[in-house]
Amino acid sequence: MLKVAIIGTGMIAGSAHIPAYRSRSDVFSVEAVVDINETAARNTATQCGIPHWFTDCVQMLETVKPDLVSVCVPNAFHKQYIRLALEHGVHVLCEKPVAVTYADAVEAVRMARKAGFRNLSVDLMFGLPGQSVHTWVQTLENVLTLKPDHISCYGLKVEKGTPLYEYKDVCNLPDDDAQADMYLTAVEILKSRNFRHYEISNFARKDKASKH
């Protein structure tokens, strides 16, 4: 039985992570929740039948000693909780994105390697506002210096009903031809660096393809 702790008690924790773990109670036991809001932590624990609640993550890690944590806090705080969990030898499941800046992403990769991760994947997006083929190539080259084992490249699709859709005509989005050029450029560069293009968006080094 794997002991699980939930860091953050917002919507994604209550609607996805906690129910998912509870649906596999033969494998997982949710032992604790952490939130800087004491009332939220206590109420979530009470409502979900979780035995322990904390407002301090370090205290939780040292007291409960979970095997796995789900990081469900706002994006800007992902990195700090990932670091704490890894430093305590705990497996981490984190909502995307792991980091919100390139510098933070580099640090997250280094933390993962230091913790012993031998199979590391990086997700990238192209077709972003203001992006060009040139800046996309720079992104790819920067990421390749991190020596990932797997890379996924996703083109931005602006959907109706999203905030970005309201500004799509004024935010300097690359057109379809530019997006296609970015995709083909990624295919060419990654193949030249010994990544196998095994699915539309996915590239992997030998024996590192995702198993779905």
Long-range own/partner contacts, residues 82-89 (CB < 8 A, 24 or more apart): 82/108, 82/111, 83/111, 84/57, 84/58, 85/7, 85/61, 86/111, 86/112, 86/114, 86/115, 88/61, 88/62, 89/115
pTM of the predicted structure, to 2 decimals: 0.80
Rg of the chain on CA atoms, in Å = 20
pLDDT of 97: 86
At 156-183, the pLDDT tens digits run: 999 999 999 999 999 999 999 999 999 9
pLDDT of 188: 98
User: What is the SS3 assignment for 98?
Assistant: coil
pLDDT of 133: 97
pLDDT of 211: 84
pLDDT of 96: 82
pLDDT of 101: 87
Give, to the nearest 10 degrees, the angle between helix 57-64 and helix 78-87.
Answer: 30
Q: How far is CA 165 from CA 50, 51, 162, in A?
A: 40, 44, 5
pLDDT of 55: 98
User: What is the SS3 assignment for 124?
Assistant: strand
Q: In what order do the strands lie in the sheet with 196-199?
A: 121-126, 150-155, 202-204, 196-199
Q: Give pLDDT < 50 ranges for the chain.
A: none
At 70-102, the pLDDT tens digits run: 999 999 999 999 999 999 999 999 988 888 888
CB 56 within 8 A of CB 34: yes
pLDDT of 102: 87
Instruction: Kindly state the helix (H) or strand (E) to which residue 150 belongs, with its residue range.
Output: strand 150-155
